[in-house]
Amino acid sequence: MSVREFAERGADLELVGIQKRFPGFTAIEELDLTIPAGSFFALLGPSGCGKTTTLRLVAGLEEPTNGRILIGGRDVTGTKAHERPVNTVFQSYALFPHMSVLENVAFGLKRRRIGDALGRAHEALRLVELDHLAQRRPAQLSGGQQQRVALARAIVNRPALLLLDEPLGALDLKLRRQMQLELKTIQEEVGLTFLHVTHDQEEAMTMADTVAVMNKGAIEQMGAPAELYELPRTSFVANFLGQSNLFTGDVSGATDAAITVDIGGARVVVPTARAQRHQGRVTVGVRPEKVTLLREAPAEASEHNTLGPGRVIDASFSGVSTQYIVSVPGVGTVTVFAQNTGAGPVVGEGAEVWISWPVEHGFGLDDVPETEGRFAADDDTTSIAAQRREALVAELEEG
């Protein structure tokens, strides 16, 4: 596909064995990824995980150390940014300050010598409802308006693949919600392939068809948002995407249907199909909103896991729900989100409670979370070196 013509529809993107090393560290270890044409794909991860580097590799602003990049089946690894049928909405927008809004939007069309560049630019500005500001300079617009101009400047070119680099990061919550919906609508209308990079899990889940969670230069897990949330495979995904209660113990029994894990004397049953590992030391978990708080010890039931008695050490009311933190001896602390529907007990700090959740909501992870506590001291030289490196990676990611 030539950059001289408009993409009729989105193209699929394929990354094969991508590795990116910078002097001193590796930003991307080994990345294989296929994004089908016409989909809205989100790369989700903390800063410094390599997601922005991935985006820059696809845009052609960086060269991979190893591996190949294919857009619509064509190998573009060796081509320069201006030769790729790809446009980017930059995190900083990068609107040309010396051009009017209209000139900014028409820039790509003029470079490709596409007829009626100004007419098409006006049309794109109408799509983002900014045509009345076409003659202004970018500096005279608000952040949200600049963001929409950046979007118009990219989509006016009808790229086979549109890259979005945390484009909503600088917006306030309300505008952000509005832009999320607009982006989604535009994507459905024009049928392009969107690759969206973000660290905001809510944004990724509401907008994307497929989410890939990235950590330390590799994709941890990929799938539909609901699938990722309901069945995380690693402790990183379980904690980065929402919250999780994780318990680590040895498998004491396994059948075709379920595995039983011994957690400090208590038995927790997880369906075999929802567990990644079926023997040895494993970590199992459950989402806090799936857990019910009980004031009395429940009757033994095979379809529920029950822990307790424990003590409520913190209860914080947040309107729609109340978050309880329950300390269960031998197990640790468990977080419970109780919807304020009027059903279920309302307890205060210090109350004795049992917790329970249906077996089918549990999940078993592929790894065991690092044994160190969340607030363990990290001031030894190794940790400081690691932190420095992380900071450097983050800086490079942003720069």
| 82 touches another protein by CB under 8 A | yes
Stretch of 89-97, 203-211, 284-292, 381-389 lying at the interface with another protein (CB under 8 A): 89-97
Reduced DSSP (H G I as helix, E B as strand, rest coil) percent helix, strand, coil of the chain, to 5: 30, 35, 40
| 362 touches another protein by CB under 8 A | no
Residue 16, phi-psi category: left (phi > 0), alpha (psi -120 to 50), beta (remainder): beta
Applying CB under 8 A, which of residues 1, 16, 61, 368 lies at the interface with another protein?
61
Instruction: Answer for the pair 293, 324: CB distance below 8 angstroms, yes or no.
Output: yes
DSSP state letters, 23-43: TTEEEEEEEEEEE-TT-EEEE
CB of 164 to another protein, least distance (A): 12
Return d(Cα 174, Cα 115) in angstroms, integer. 37
Task: State the Rg of the chain over Cα.
Answer: 25
Nearer to another protein by Cβ, of 110 and 389: the residue is 110
Instruction: Answer for the pair 196, 208: CB distance below 8 angstroms, yes or no.
Output: yes
CB of 92 to another protein, least distance (A): 6
CA 199, distance to chain mean position in Å, is 6
| 216 touches another protein by CB under 8 A | no
| 162 touches another protein by CB under 8 A | no
Nearest 10 degrees: CA dihedral of 69, 71, 74, 79?
-60
Stretch of 87-95, 121-129, 243-251, 341-349 lying at the interface with another protein (CB under 8 A): 87-95
Q: To which residue do tokens 């077996």 refer?
A: 359
CB of 98 to another protein, least distance (A): 4
| 90 touches another protein by CB under 8 A | yes
Stretch of 83-91, 116-124, 203-211, 236-244 lying at the interface with another protein (CB under 8 A): 83-91
| 157 touches another protein by CB under 8 A | yes
Return d(Cα 82, Cα 60) in angstroms, integer. 8
CB of 4 to another protein, least distance (A): 9
| 92 touches another protein by CB under 8 A | yes
Nearer to another protein by Cβ, of 154 and 326: the residue is 154
CB of 83 to another protein, least distance (A): 8
| 43 touches another protein by CB under 8 A | no
Applying CB under 8 A, which of residues 9, 30, 75, 80 lies at the interface with another protein?
80
Return d(Cα 64, Cα 32) in angstroms, integer. 13
Residue 75, phi-psi category: left (phi > 0), alpha (psi -120 to 50), beta (remainder): beta
Secondary structure E strands in 104-244: 161-165, 193-198, 210-215, 218-223
| 138 touches another protein by CB under 8 A | no
Stretch of 29-37, 106-114, 258-266, 359-367 lying at the interface with another protein (CB under 8 A): 106-114
| 97 touches another protein by CB under 8 A | yes
Q: Is the dihedral of CA 352, 358, 364, 365 positive or negative?
A: negative
| 115 touches another protein by CB under 8 A | no
Nearer to another protein by Cβ, of 107 and 240: the residue is 107
Sequence-distant (6+) residues with CB within 8 A of 168 are 147, 176, 179, 180, 198, 200, 203
| 64 touches another protein by CB under 8 A | no
Nearer to another protein by Cβ, of 86 and 331: the residue is 86
Applying CB under 8 A, which of residues 72, 108, 167, 232 lies at the interface with another protein?
108
| 86 touches another protein by CB under 8 A | yes
Name the amino acid, one letter, at 23: P
Which residues in this chain contact another protein in the complex, by CB under 8 A? 3, 59-61, 80-83, 86-88, 90, 92, 94-98, 107-108, 111-112, 137, 153, 157
